[in-house]
Amino acid sequence: MAASRLQIFVERHRRLFVLTGAGCSTGSGIPDYRDADGRWKRLAPATYQDFMGQVSARRRYWARSLLGWRRFRGARPNDAHRALARLEAMGKSELLLTQNVDRLHQAAGSAKVIDLHGRLDCVRCMGCGGAASRDDVQHELSRLNPGWLGLDAASAPDGDADLDGADFSSFEVPACRRCAGVLKPDVVFFGESVPRDRVAAAMRHLDEADAMLVVGSSLMVYSGYRFVETAARAGKPVAAVTLGRTRADALLSLKVESPCEVALAFLL
């Protein structure tokens, strides 16, 4: 059985560098971006260049986010998050590096976490660098756009909602209160790079680990894939729990194709 091979993998290694992705949070009601072949399930999300360059892209983003945030902020950790928190409590986790922006690992009790792609509960001003909480921005979005509040839409990844076909031209996007600059969620957008010091900090932990465990990521994005590449180059075995194809299939020493919370149940 593949799952028991995963248990042996975890027992055999002293310190694991854990990388998690969207598949970890689907059990909490946050949808995944990609299908089993790693293709987009819906229109690709806005790029950094679109968001910063076009007010229409910002209107579309915030209108969808106004509706999507309500469900996103109510999401709770599932057994996959709890199993990985347990792994840390057992002293087996060197670092949990997550591509998720939902903070559900922290909510489940993991403390040694780096949010590779940032966190959606924070918003940053691209003008003055000031920070705001997403809840405050939600309040402002609601105040400026009362007519949009009654709309309902299916949840999409990253606190987004499916609202395609809507006319966003009347949507009011809030600006920074201090400098009127562009507000952007404190997450790494497509087309944007992960801050270099964040990558370097994670790489130092990878150096201390003797194996890597990927949970719920197809590794299609280079920002996560490069950690598998680095582990493999250093001769560290890599196991992955994920549904479907990953970009790193050729580099894996063990692959378990089942839902994360099922594959990791032995930790609970």
Question: Which residues bind to Zn ion, rule: CB under 5 A?
Answer: 125, 127-128, 130, 176, 178-179, 181
Cβ at position 127, least distance to Zn ion in Å: 4
Q: Is 117 a known active-site residue?
A: yes
Q: Closer CB to Zn ion, residue 86 or residue 184? A: 184
DSSP the chain: -HHHHHHHHHHH-SSEEEEE-GGGTGGGT---SB-TTS-BSSSPPPBHHHHHH-HHHHHHHHHHHHHHHHHHHT----HHHHHHHHHHHTT-EEEEEE--SS-HHHHHT--SEEETTEEEEEEEETTT--EEEHHHHHHHHHHH-GGGTT----EETTTEE--TT---TTPPPPB-TTT--BEEEEEPPBTSPPPHHHHHHHHHHHHH-SEEEEES----SHHHHHHHHHHHHTT--EEEE-SS--TTGGG-SEEE-S-HHHHTGGG-
> What's the maximum distance between 2 C-alpha atoms anywhere in the chain?
58
Q: Closer CB to Zn ion, residue 76 or residue 139? A: 139
Q: Closer CB to Zn ion, residue 8 or residue 131? A: 131
Cβ at position 169, least distance to Zn ion in Å: 25
Cβ at position 83, least distance to Zn ion in Å: 40
Q: Closer CB to Zn ion, residue 87 or residue 141? A: 141
Q: Closer CB to Zn ion, residue 176 or residue 202? A: 176
Q: Choosing from 13, 81, 105, 117, which is the catalytic residue? A: 117
Radius of gyration over every alpha carbon of the chain, rounded to an integer in angstroms? 19
Catalytically annotated residues: 117
